[in-house]
Amino acid sequence: MSENWEWLKAVLIWIYYLSMVIVFSYMVYYYLTKVAGLPLPPI
């Protein structure tokens, strides 16, 4: 039972960090396109 909880916590941590990376990269992309005005292709 405890092994399943450890696996579940590991998966949730991975999902959390992955979502943080996605949000951060989207914020950088938004900043470069809207503020700096770089002609980057749309996602």
- The pLDDT, as a whole number, for residue 4 is 87
pLDDT class for 1, splitting at 50, 70, 90?
Answer: low
CA 37 – CA 42 distance, rounded (Å): 13
CA 37 – CA 7 distance, rounded (Å): 43
- The pLDDT, as a whole number, for residue 43 is 61
pTM check: above 0.75: no
- The pLDDT, as a whole number, for residue 36 is 77
DSSP the chain: -HHHHHHHHHHHHHHHHHHHHHHHHHHHHHIIIIIS---PPP-
For residue range 3-43, list pLDDT tens digits in order. Answer: 789 999 999 999 999 999 999 999 998 888 888 777 766 66
